[in-house]
Structure 1
Amino acid sequence: MDLRSFIIPAIDIKEGKVVRLYRGSFESVKEYPLHPEEVAKLFNEIGFKRLHVVDLDGSLEGMPKNIEAIKKIRKVFSGQIQVGGGIRSLEVCQVLDDEGIDLFVAGTVALREPSIFKSIVEAFPDRIILSVDAKRGKVAVSGWQEESSLGPEELALKFENLHIWGYLYTNIEKDGSLEGVDVDIYLKFKKFVKKPLLASGGVSSLEDVKRLYGVVEGVIVGKAIYEGKLNIKEI
């Protein structure tokens, strides 16, 4: 297995800096002394095929706020880049498309303004990843600050017949915790959908990654890399 295709390293950006949240809390931000483009360059040198970039300021404010950092990442990373955080309009997707971003991760707009989400999908077929962010069994939106009444599968099924790329399911209660992954939630979700699924939340080791191999089509890994729990150079 080539884990460089299966693992999708995450670069979370807040005010131009690389950070990680703990269980989605903006009160628990850990900042790393790294520039986003430096990290992206390292991931490129190792041979990862895709990057997951999150504009955390954008997720709170409803539109991307770290475009300059995203531009620098695009210049040094040759593989695919998917960007999330504030992707809530066609105009934002067009701006990112102009910068060479391959895939757009959107969740809040799908829940709150499904007609706009559908228009985005029509404009960028097979390039939109529906972000399904779950906390206590319900979908959370607006940078995970607000919980909805919908379950993850309910949200996914609303858009399964559209030309989306697939889904990114984040287990918020595990995110940034290094507590290990919950494989069962992805197995359950897979029973409802046919499109590709990416997993996120709780990865603490290479063993966690291997447990997800064959269950999902890719896994987002952030804190485990930055804290040295998963040695990417060995991959």
Structure 2
Amino acid sequence: MNIYPAIDLKDGKCVRLLKGRMEDATEFNPDPANQAVRFREAGFDRLHLVDLNGAFDGRSTNEAAVRAVLNATDAPVQLGGGIRDRRAIDNWLERGVTRVILGTMALRNPATVKAACRDHPEQIVVGIDARGGKVAVEGWAEQSEMDALDLAKAFEDAGVAAIVFTDIDRDGALQGVNAEATAELARAISIPVIASGGVAGIEDVKRLKALEDAGIEGVIIGRALYDGRLEPMEALRIARDNIV
């Protein structure tokens, strides 16, 4: 199982939100590139970036910060937030992002997402952010009536590299990952699922690792790493070594 440390970008800085609310942002590092280097030195071999401003604005906003991260680390980077058309997808993949995460596009323009999957194999990730089981879009500001599972199934044969499933109500709250809902989604589809939202400590990593066979490919961890609640080497050892 892979661990993706999260770098969430707001106004060029590394922050964490509480349940997706921009007004509840805590700054952890004014230099995202420095944070990327720290994560790499801690042993993490991949990164998860989110352009928070972009998610709300509908276009990439923290481009300079993303470029700085790409220049600072050799770790594969997956990027989401504000990527809303084919030009943006191609642009970021050409600039060195390994995978782009598409959430709002997946709901509103699935045909373009599927076409991108065909042209960029293993580089398109669908982000499904759910509140009460329903998909939220536009930086979680708008609630749809689409069930998370129905959206995931719509991409079953599209060639999606993975699905990032976020429980919005737990994101940044350190309440524990929703392992059961994540595993339920993973069992219902053939696409690998990455858990996101609520990881509070090592027990969450163990719970997800124990459910790896359900189709859970990885976990995104943010605040628990920044707060020091999770020791990187212990988390990596469990994720990689079948220790639960």
> Does TM, scored on the shorter chain, surpass 0.5?
yes
Give 2:96's match in structure 1, choosing from 95, 100, 107.
100
* Matched AA of 2:119: A
What is the CA deviation profile of residues 65-124 of structure 1, one whole-angstrom value per residue up to 9, with x for unaligned ones? 111111111112212110000111111112211221100100101111122222222221
Quick check: 1:194 aligned with 2:195? no
Looking at structure 2, the residues matched to 141 and 18 of structure 1 have their Cα atoms a distance apart, in angstroms, of: 22
- The one-letter code matched in structure 1 to 2:220 is I
1:227 equivalent in structure 2? 227
Superposition map of 1:1-235 within 5 A: 6-215=2-211, 216-232=216-232
Unaligned runs of 5+ in 2: 237-244
% identical aligned pairs: 39
Q: Is the 8 A contact 2:114 2:159 kept in 1?
A: no
TM-score (norm 1): 0.94
SS at structure 2 position matched to 1:41: helix
Question: How far apart, CA to CA, are the structure 2 residues paired with 1:214 and 1:82?
Answer: 25
Please list the CA deviations of residues 150-174 of structure 1 after superposition, one character each: whole Å capped at 9, or x if unmatched: 1110001111110110200000000
Q: Which runs of 5+ in 1 are unaligned?
A: none
Inter-partner Cα distance in structure 2 for 1:81 and 1:214: 26
- Deviation, 1:217, is 1.0
| Contact preservation (8 Å) 2:29, 2:35 | no
- The runs of 4+ residues in structure 1 deviating greater than 6 Å are none
Paired letter, 1:103: R
Q: What code does the residue aligned with 1:156 have?
A: A
Q: For the residues of structure 2 that align with 1:94 and 1:130, how far apart are their CA atoms?
A: 16
Letter in 2 for 1:78: D
Q: Which amino acid aligns with 1:219?
A: V
Post-superposition Cα deviations, 1:183-227, rounded to whole Å, max 9, x if no partner, equal 110121022111111000110001111110142110000011111
**Which amino acid is 1:102 matched to?**
T
Q: For 1:156, what is the secondary structure of its paired residue?
A: helix
Corresponding residue pairs, total: 231
Q: Aligned AA for 2:13?
A: K
Where 1:170 maps in the other structure, the secondary structure is strand
Secondary structure in 1 matching 2:232:
coil
Aligned partner of residue 148 in structure 1, secondary structure: strand
Are the counterparts in 2 of residues 89 and 120 from structure 1 also a CA contact under 8 Å?
no
Paired letter, 2:169: E
For residue 143 of structure 1, report the CA deviation from its aligned partner: 0.2
| Equivalent residues of 1:88, 1:117 under 8 A apart | no
* Cα offsets for 1:10-34 (capped at 9, x unmatched): 0000110011110111121111243
Distance apart, 1:47 and its partner CA: 2.2
TM-score by length of 2: 0.91
Q: CA RMSD in A?
A: 1.3
1:233, CA displacement in angstroms? 5.5
